[in-house]
Amino acid sequence: MSLLILLRHGESEWNKLNLFTGWVDVPLSRKGIKEAEDAGKVIKDIKIDVAFTSTLIRAQMTLMLSLLDHPSGIPYLTHTGEGKLEEWAKVYNEKTFASLIPVYTSWHLNERMYGELQGKNKAEMMEEFGAEQVKLWRRSYDVAPPEGESLEMTAQRVIPYFEEMIVPHLREARNVFVCAHGNSLRAILMDLMGLNREEIIQLEIATGEPIIYEFKYGSFYRKES
């Protein structure tokens, strides 16, 4: 058996301002920093062997802060495939290397890209386009905002990455920590829970609250806290 920990990043500065964020790379707010630290307390007794996150700073900040005092070791970014960043970051001490938690980053785990809505206020968009239209852009499965991604499009990049890069670690009895975003995690949970397009649009994922699954006999089982 192995464990999968899913965590949505803490509140970002643009979450606080009620702005569409998408791929705009803004940091956590003070509240988001606190949420990340609190999430770390929830998972402090779970051994973590490997971690995955997006290329966006709010997810990376959340992961690092939540693992800052974790007994499994110190998280470090692997920079896989990034040339000198990967090559020159080699650790030559086996004992030191064993004390690290490898962290893999990928754009496949990034938030849904909100296109021309990015940077715009959600309430103002409702005034301009109507609440129903904005709800369609935000919550529907296959309707994309102007020049952006739908949840369906997001799932088409997230799920293959999850199955090809993350699940193999679980099959090898490693506990995996994934820190990502509301929509990339919704895509993963859609896959794990077998949700249809109507069910997934109702799924809400809170910031800074770990979701834990047991992986055994090739299946996922929600672990209640």
DSSP label of 83: T
Q: Are 89 and 79 in contact (CB under 8 A)?
A: yes
Query: Under DSSP, is residue 108 helix (H, G, I), strand (E, B) or coil?
Result: helix
Name the helix (H) or strand (E) containing 211.
Answer: strand 211-216
pLDDT per position as a tens digit, 97-126: 999 999 999 999 999 999 999 999 999 999
Q: Which two tokens stand for residue 15?
A: 């979450």
Query: Under DSSP, is residue 57 helix (H, G, I), strand (E, B) or coil?
Result: helix
- Per-residue model confidence (pLDDT) at position 71: 96
Q: Which residues are annotated as a binding site?
A: 8-15, 21-22, 58, 111-114, 122, 138-139, 182-183
**Cα atoms found within 13 Å of the Cα of residue 200, Cβ hemisphere only:** 25
Q: How far apart are CA 119 and CA 25, in angstroms?
A: 11
Q: What is the mean pLDDT of residues 13-26?
A: 97
Query: Under DSSP, is residue 99 helix (H, G, I), strand (E, B) or coil?
Result: coil
Does residue 224 carry a pLDDT above 80? no
The angle formed by the CA atoms of residues 192, 10 and 136, to the nearest 5 degrees, is 60
Q: How far apart are CA 3 and CA 50, in angstroms?
A: 11
Domains defined for the chain, CATH in brackets: 2-208 (3.40.50.1240)
Does residue 225 carry a pLDDT above 80? no
- 35, 70, 108, 111: which is the annotated catalytic residue? 111
pLDDT per position as a tens digit, 129-179: 999 999 899 888 999 999 999 999 999 999 999 999 999 999 999 999 999
Name the helix (H) or strand (E) containing 85.
Answer: helix 84-87
Q: How far apart are CA 214 and CA 219, in angstroms?
A: 8
Q: Which residues are annotated as a binding site for substrate?
A: 8-15, 21-22, 58, 111-114, 122, 138-139, 182-183
Query: Under DSSP, is residue 173 helix (H, G, I), strand (E, B) or coil?
Result: coil
Task: State yes or no: is 9 an active-site residue.
Answer: yes
pTM of the model: 0.95
Instruction: Identify the band that residue 207 occupies on the pLDDT scale cut at 50, 70 and 90.
Output: very high
- 9, 70, 169, 181: which is the annotated catalytic residue? 9
